[in-house]
């Protein structure tokens, strides 16, 4: 293995996807920030969920909002539906894995809340069902995806589709976009100085 070549190729691909993401997603990103601000100003909360690495992103972003991102400030109501092992295992056992997030959205979501599903393929059944439950319950159904957006197209709005077919690059952009959401939301809500 030529480790130097591998190293350079990975960074080159990352930089190319970052540039393409920057060029493609300014408008849906601004709409996502607007939806999040409207939700929080209205007394609502942000629900994050996804599978695998996206589950880790969900809890990472919820924590950035409830605790702090860049500076001490008032907390922002957010939670990850991926962190309650009892809810996940009971839901998976009793209702099926495809329903584990939808059930939590039905129980915890309220009209005006923001549900953000994270799926690199846009085809995760449990993410899709949760967003369907969100829409049915009067929540804003948003998502982060990649590739062609999969079945999230037409379901989630705003929908941020990272222009890549490489899962690792999509995940890198998801966490970057998610952290940008946290930073922009703090400023938009007047909780930190720009």
Domain holding 96: CATH number? 3.40.50.10490
What residues make up the domain containing 182?
3-188
Asked whether residue 90 is assigned to any structural domain, the reply reads: yes
Residues 33-85 pLDDT 10s: 999 999 999 999 999 999 999 999 999 999 999 999 999 999 999 999 999 99
Helical H runs in the chain?
3-24, 26-41, 53-66, 85-94, 100-108, 125-136, 167-188
Asked whether residue 193 is assigned to any structural domain, the reply reads: no
List phi, psi (to 5°) of 136.
Answer: -65, -30
Whole-angstrom distance, CA of residue 125 vs CA of residue 58: 17
**Full-model pTM:** 0.97
Number of domains into which the chain is organized: 1
Whole-angstrom distance, CA of residue 114 vs CA of residue 188: 16
Low-confidence residues of the chain: pLDDT under 70 = none
Asked whether residue 154 is assigned to any structural domain, the reply reads: yes
Contact 117, 49 (CB under 8 A): yes
pLDDT at 47: 99
Asked whether residue 95 is assigned to any structural domain, the reply reads: yes
């Amino acid at each position: 293995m030529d480790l130097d070549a591998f190293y350079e190729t990975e960074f080159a691909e990352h930089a190319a996807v970052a540039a393409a993401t920057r060029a493609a997603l300014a408008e849906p990103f601004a709409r996502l920030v607007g939806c999040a601000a409207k939700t929080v100003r209205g007394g609502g909360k942000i629900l994050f969920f996804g599978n695998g690495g996206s589950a880790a992103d969900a809890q990472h972003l919820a924590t950035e909002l409830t605790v702090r991102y860049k500076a001490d400030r008032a907390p922002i109501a957010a939670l990850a539906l991926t962190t309650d092992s009892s809810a996940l295992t009971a839901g998976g056992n009793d209702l099926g894995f495809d329903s584990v997030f939808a059930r939590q959205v039905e129980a915890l979501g309220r009209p005006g809340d923001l549900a953000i599903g994270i799926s690199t393929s846009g085809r995760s059944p449990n993410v899709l069902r949760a967003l369907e439950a969100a829409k049915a319950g009067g929540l804003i159904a948003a998502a982060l995806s990649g590739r062609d957006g999969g079945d999230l197209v037409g379901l989630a709005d705003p929908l941020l589709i990272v222009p890549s077919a490489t899962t690792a690059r999509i995940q890198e952009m998801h966490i970057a976009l998610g952290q940008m959401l946290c930073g922009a939301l703090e400023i938009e809500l007047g909780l930190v100085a720009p």
